[in-house]
Amino acid sequence: MTDGLAPSGRLAADAGWRGAATAALRTLGVLVVLLVIVQSLIVVQARPQDLITGYHGMLDFLRRAWPPDVSRVKDTLWPALESIDIGIFGTVAGVIMALPLAVLAAANVTPARPLYYLARGIIAFTRSVHELVWALLFVTAVGLGPFPGGLALAVHSIGMLGRLFAETIEHMDMAPIEALALTGASRMQVFTQGVVPGVIPSLLGISLYRLDENLRASLVLGFVGAGGIGFQLFTAMSLFDYRQVSLLLIVVFIMVVGAERLSAVLRQKLA
């Protein structure tokens, strides 16, 4: 008795079914993606026509913002320096706190499993809260000014750097580490003589990238009272002083591009 199909015929039929099922799944996948996009357009109430009808407002803003009030360049220098220093403080403090956490949170070098989970928890928590929220919290705690801004960036950087540092340590070549351990070196010696020299260029590169990110972030922290050029920008916008706003935006642009270039050059030198 046969079921009506020779073995080769049955194989061909199976392949046909599999092909049809794959095509159906693919179509379903595309439909789901489209559905997600459409619902997001509905939820954000996207009205592209408003961009066209609102061009009068944009033109009015540009007219009132031009020319930038360059006579007040001197007044922007201190807030600009403040923003840069908020970024530097946040990065340096973040690196100092993220390093030991990363060692505990790297599965291949962590001294104990409970410490691994604790470190991973701290890293996840500090990363999941946005730096603006941290800034609001620190403004409440220590008052207005650049210090809460620096603290906000430092705490957020712990999460971002901690995770990247830990991943770098986890992906390092373990052969030299094993070789050092076999010489009778202590755990600490293996860490300082093998792990650190192995990963330090990558960690420095990540830190420089973070400095670039923090410099950009420090520019908006002023919007919530955490000092820097953002505070000036917020004040100028509130007073409809658009010529001052355009000047500040030019300064911000120069700072961001400068930080980006400097960070890129330094990272290239480390590579």
Partner 1 sequence: MLEVRGLSLRYPNGKEALSAFDVVVRPGQLVIVLGGNGSGKTTLLRCIARLLDPSGGEIRVNGTDLSRLSGKELRRARLQLAVISQHAALVRRRTVLANVATGALGRCHDLWTALGGLPASELAAARSRLAEVGLAELAHQRAGTLSGGQSQRVAIARALAQQPRVLLADEPVASLDPEAAEEIMRLLRRLAAEENLAVLCVLHQVELAYRYADRVVGIRDGRVAFDLPRAEVSREAVRQLYLSEAA
Residues that bind partner 1 (CB under 8 A): 175-176, 178-180, 182-186, 188-189, 192-194, 196-198, 200-201
Q: What burial class does residue 208 get, using C-beta atoms within 10 Å of its C-beta: 0-12 exposed, 13-18 middle, 19+ buried?
A: buried
The CA distance from 222 to 79, in Å, is 10
3 state SS of 226: coil
Q: Please, what is the minimum distance in Å from the beta carbon of residue 174 to partner 1?
A: 9
Q: Which is nearer to partner 1, 140 or 189 (CB)?
A: 189
Q: Which is nearer to partner 1, 169 or 226 (CB)?
A: 169
Residues 252/193, Cβ–Cβ less than 8 Å = no
Q: Which is nearer to partner 1, 204 or 256 (CB)?
A: 204
Structure tokens at 150: 């620096």
Q: Please, what is the minimum distance in Å from the beta carbon of residue 184 to partner 1?
A: 2
Q: Please, what is the minimum distance in Å from the beta carbon of residue 254 to partner 1?
A: 35
Q: Please, what is the minimum distance in Å from the beta carbon of residue 111 to partner 1?
A: 14
Q: Which is nearer to partner 1, 95 or 190 (CB)?
A: 190
Calculate helix-pair angle for 242-270, 229-238, nearest 10 degrees: 160
The CA distance from 271 to 268, in Å, is 5
